[in-house]
Structure 1
């Protein structure tokens, strides 16, 4: 019997996603640019575009999985499951994932770290909001004490050590809005001393404030969060890199364009009874199945001697 492709192909050894992300952070010339994705479909589209890192947005997960706002409604299993599914689409593309406040006590934080790392999520961020949190670009956020925040970070660090699987810990503070820049920087420095790897100062208001924060936190790698309609100025990748940021998230880019495109199509279908095809027929069933990997699935089946997916699909 002839050997199949599956028996002769040489496979590269598994590399943990956290290790891949750490290499990018250690490269002085690299900027980790992450589009926000919230499900397998948006992740597939981002991967097809060539991104080498992804961000699983908590707001997008709440909206897509539950149809709810970002108000601490999504549970740990729902959030970790979504992050793990996205991380499993391409093991060579690290996924950074939202972990809100850590989902409760120090034990809940430890469980979150263990779950995310078991699912090969590269990094997670934990913030200093009160448990009933809200999106970082909304007003009137309640902030916990520095001591309580550091319990979360220390729990994440200890859980990482005990589970034996690496994951990058990103410390996020939402304290700028109510406590000011100096206190936000103090919190992130303390979080780094407690075991966090990356600093995430949410809600920066100006380009100059971005520069000041990065300089004050050096040499800690810093993350910039660019939210459409939010309070932080829109900086392109080159500007963010020049300011010294190592990671840039565009967390709701998928949500924004899904909202505008689907809203328009739904209204057209309601008003006219049909939707006009897009130029060139883009977005038809063929495009959708191809970006989701239908040809790769067929090749895999053939490589192991299967015949269920033989023949052309289109």
Structure 2
């Protein structure tokens, strides 16, 4: 029998009575670190991807092909973990969504997340968002579901309507997306524990919680999330947020101290760095297939 697909493996994880933690990453190196830390899945954050790839805000600047390419690199580096990938708005109408689904499937993702924002979209916790008519998003969800070549690919439908149309309207939108075939429902930016609980009572399918650092959504332990019906807890920007002060600290030290000695924070050693990026495995492969000059580890 063939191995289960990434989507099938993710569905098995979501079927458990707990909230599956999915750390957000923007690149392949961070995906390797997520796997090393023992997590069972990884989330490709669109906001973090825009920050790392472009050095710019998440306001719809990355194209579908750039996001699919980033997803493929993260999949390759994740050590077999199912990858949940942000697909923004699907990048157009139903035909565009079909191409997005096919390109993301070729990238090897287990799930894609699509939102009902107008274009240009923006981070869900920023002001200035718009949403498309519910009928347009329903059509895009149906297009995503019908375009799957792997029936186990998980389609996550997100609504950003709370800030624009109110909480009850957002729930109604999410209900329509569920009826259109979405496997997971993601109501973005609930503003209180009461709203989070109300979402859990409304739906009998897996729900996604977004642990944004914006402060709009309450910080909730995963045990409580699971009790409310959430089966996926995404931590989208934490790895990038943690990296920024570390990079600033070492840059200030290099600028002011005149030496790289005695850094002001704990750094990976050269050996640790090379182990993380897979040099020992490369050395083993070279030892089996290369010339005598390549049969060594370079550290």
TM-score (norm 2): 0.93
Q: How does 1:68-87 map to 2 (within 5 A)?
A: 68-87=56-75
Paired with 2:182 and 2:291, the residues of 1 have a C-alpha distance of: 47
For 1:250-273, what per-residue CA distance to the aligned partner results, in whole angstroms no more than 9, with x for missing partners? 000111011111122222222223
Contact kept? 2:28, 2:78, Cα under 8 Å: no
Kindly report which structure 2 residues correspond to 1:45-194, keeping only aligned pairs within 5 A, or say none: 45-90=33-78, 92-160=80-148, 163-164=149-150, 166-194=152-180
Partner deviation per Cα, 1:36-83 (whole Å, 9 max, x = no partner): 011011111111111110000001111111111100000011100111
Correspondence for 1:247:
232
From the superposition, tell whether residues 277 and 44 of structure 1 become closer, same or farther in structure 2 (CA, over 3 Å).
Answer: farther
After TM superposition, give the deviation of residue 177 of structure 1 in Å. Answer: 1.0
Deviations 1:218-244 (A, max 9, x none): x11100000123411122222322322
- Give the Cα–Cα distance (whole angstroms) in 2 for the partners of residues 274 and 229 of structure 1: 37
In 2, the alpha carbon distance for the partners of 1:308 and 1:56 equals: 38
Matched residue SS, 1:297: helix
Distance 1:239 1:307, change over 3 A: farther
Take 2:223 and 2:66, find their aligned partners in 1: how far apart are those partners?
A: 35
What is the aligned-residue RMSD (CA, Å)? 2.0
Change beyond 3 A, Cα 1:301–1:41: same
2-structure distance, mates of 1:276, 1:202:
45
Q: 1:277 to 1:98 in 2, by over 3 A?
A: farther
Of 9, 17, 22, which residue of structure 2 is paired with 1:20? 9
Number of residues of Structure 1 aligned to a counterpart in Structure 2? 299
Map of 2:284 onto structure 1: 299
- Give the deviation of 1:13 after TM superposition: 4.4
In 1, the alpha carbon distance for the partners of 2:265 and 2:135 equals 57
For the structure 1 residues 233 and 206, does the alpha-carbon distance in structure 2 shift closer, same or farther, using more than 3 Å as the test?
Answer: same
Whether the 8 Å CA contact 1:118–1:165 is kept in 2: the answer is no
Cα distance in 1 for residues equivalent to 2:76 and 2:282: 15
CA distance in 2, matches of 1:308, 1:156: 50
Residue matched to 1:208: 194
CA contact (8 A) 2:284 2:295 kept: no
2:79 and 2:212 map into 1 onto residues whose CA distance is: 27
Partner of 1:3: none
What stretches of structure 2 of length at least 5 have no aligned partner? none
Distance 1:120 1:56 in 2: 12
Using the TM superposition, give the Cα deviation of residue 215 of structure 1 relative to its aligned residue in structure 2, in angstroms: 0.9
Q: Partner residue of 1:265?
A: 250
Q: Closer, same or farther in 2 for the Cα pair 1:277/1:207, shift >3 Å? A: farther
